[in-house]
Amino acid sequence: MEDSKDIGMDRKLERKFWSLRRIAWLAGLILLVALPLYVFIGSDGSSRLNVKAERVTISTVEKGPFQVYIAVTGTVLPIRTVYLDAVEGGRVERVVREAGSLVGEGDTILELANTNLVLDIMNREAQLFEQSNNLRNTRLAMEEHSLALEADLADLDFRISRAKRAFDQAVTLKERDLISDHEFADVRDEYEYLLRKHDLTLRTQRQDSLFRSAQIETLEASVARIEANLEIVRQNQDNLFLRAPVSGRLTSLNAEIGESKSRGQRLGQIDILDGFKVRAAIDEHYIARLDIDLKGEFDLAGQTYHLAVTKIYPEVIDGRFEVDLEFTADPPADIRRGQTVHIRLELGDLTEAVLLARGGFFQNSGGNWAYVLNESGETAVKRDIRLGQQNPRVFEVLEGLEPGERVITSSYDNFGNADKLVMQY
């Protein structure tokens, strides 16, 4: 009996293969593999991402009028500005009007002093006096010489008259043979000599008259030239007084007493207060699309004011060019020079189009796709779309979206490569 008991106690017990630990481990492994498979099969092979609805922007696709325009910033300027430059250089002697004051046409703004100009005027006046004296003396000498020639001609005429009578008598006596040949020859030679001398004196008088006339014309031209130069210099002296060419507001004046200003230097400017314009800087990308009379508008104090492009400056500086726009109606009553306004500048005609609001999604998709919500709004699926032109508010939709559909237009940075978004409200 004892032996049989020992044999029963020494028998080896067999361990079960499907222990509770193994069953639990296998069940976990199956669950780990089956769950992603279930999600993949249940989602038709697309990746999903849960998104909280309050963290995204949802926009509704609409159909309506579409206007291509760009937003630009403009600065209000007077309708016309007149610049004040120094016509003649000098030292600032006196400032009559200060910057910011209203001036009328012809009002003196400042006075310059130029000693060299004063000396130049005195020198030219002395030259004019000298040439005037020369002209006067030449005319006097010409008159005296003309009188002397006339006296000589008068004397010659008298002597010729007497010589002619003597010659006529000699001819009569010679015919009667009452005078010798020698006496006849003397009378004849005297008469012929006086005739030749008379002709020579006449030619001398004519030549002298021409010479004196040319000399007087030269002197008169010289005097006239000196007078004209003197008048110009005197005008330059008058230009030492800077006067307002138009009425308006003296908005700037760059001059201090004792300061030296050179000819042509900018001294200030006057703004014409009849109206205002707006000057805007625009990206060079749009330079080929802008033209005269394009419309623009901006809002101020609850009202919309309309503008039109009147001038385009083609010079491009730092990638931008400038345009001037003028008001098509009365400008705002309280508008001021230097004020900044934000303009919506039109680039095309008004058309009917399918529209989608602008948003950060464009930076992620390039406008080639977007997340579109289903009718219930529970999910948003990635869909290919095609966008056209744009303005600061909306895109023109060419393909892929219909009016009434809702699109997530905020940034897609946190969505990764998800094909479907599950909205959590």
Domain boundaries, the chain: 16-42, 48-68+351-424, 69-106+246-347, 116-238
95 contacts: CB under 8 Å, gap ≥ 6: 109, 110, 253, 255, 256, 257
Backbone angles phi, psi at 57, to 5 degrees: -105, 125
Q: Chain-wide mean pLDDT for the chain?
A: 85
Q: What pTM, to 2 d.p., does this model score? A: 0.51
Beta-carbon neighbour count of residue 414 at 10 Å? Answer: 11
pLDDT at 34: 55
Among 1.10.8, 1.10.1660, 2.130.10, 2.40.420, name the CATH number for the domain at 48-68+351-424.
2.40.420
Tell me: pLDDT of 379 over 90. Answer: yes
Encode the chain in three state secondary structure: CHHHHHHHHCCCCCCCCCCHHHHHHHHHHHHHHHHHHHHHHHCCCCCEEEEEHHHCCEEECEEEEECCEEEEEEEEEEEEEEEEECCCCEEEEEECCCCCCEECCCCEEEEEECHHHHHHHHHHHHHHHHHHHHHHHHHHHHHHHHHHHHHHHHHHHHHHHHHHHHHHHHHHHHHCCCCCHHHHHHHHHHHHHHHHHHHHHHHHHHHHHHHHHHHHHHHHHHHHHHHHHHHHHHHHHHCCEEECCCCEEEEEECCCCCCEECCCCEEEEEEEEEEEEEEEEEEHHHCCCCCCCCEEEEEECCEEEEEEEEEEEEEEECCEEEEEEEECCCCCCCCCCCCEEEEEEECCCCEEEEEEECCCHHHHHCCCEEEEECCCCCEEEEEECEEEEECCCEEEEEECCCCCCEEECCCCCCCCCCCEEEEEC
Average pLDDT score over residue span 246-268: 90
Average pLDDT score over residue span 224-249: 83
209 contacts: CB under 8 Å, gap ≥ 6: 142, 146
Name the more confident of 220 and 81.
81
pLDDT at 31: 66
Backbone angles phi, psi at 200, to 5 degrees: -65, -40
**Percent with pLDDT over 70 in the chain:** 90
Read off the pLDDT of residues 132-185 as tens digits, 9 standing for 90 and up.
777 777 777 777 877 888 888 888 888 889 989 988 888 888 888 888 888 889
Encode 14-40 in three state secondary structure: CCCCCCHHHHHHHHHHHHHHHHHHHHH
Which stretch of 23-32, 219-228, 287-296, 379-388 has the lowest confidence by average pLDDT?
23-32
Tell me: pLDDT of 372 over 60. Answer: yes
| Local confidence band at 3 (pLDDT 50, 70, 90 cut-offs) | very low
pLDDT at 9: 45
Read off the pLDDT of residues 281-340 as tens digits, 9 standing for 90 and up.
999 988 888 889 999 999 998 899 999 999 999 999 999 999 999 999 888 888 888 899
| Local confidence band at 14 (pLDDT 50, 70, 90 cut-offs) | low
Measured CA to CA, the distance from residue 369 to residue 382 in angstroms comes to 7
CA dihedral (162, 167, 173, 176) in degrees, to 10, reads -150
Instruction: Dig out the tokens for 400 from the structure.
Output: 């892929």
pLDDT at 15: 54
Average pLDDT score over residue span 86-103: 90
Tell me: pLDDT of 406 over 60. Answer: yes
Average pLDDT score over residue span 189-197: 90
Closest CA to 343 of 65, 68, 70: 70
Tell me: pLDDT of 12 over 90. Answer: no
Q: In the beta sheet, which residues pair with residue 94?
A: 111
69-106+246-347 belongs to CATH 3.40.190.150: no
| Local confidence band at 238 (pLDDT 50, 70, 90 cut-offs) | confident
Name the more confident of 12 and 79.
79
Read off the pLDDT of residues 25-63 as tens digits, 9 standing for 90 and up.
776 677 665 555 544 444 455 688 999 999 999 999 999
| Local confidence band at 7 (pLDDT 50, 70, 90 cut-offs) | very low
Which stretch of 149-153, 184-188, 410-414 has the lowest confidence by average pLDDT?
149-153
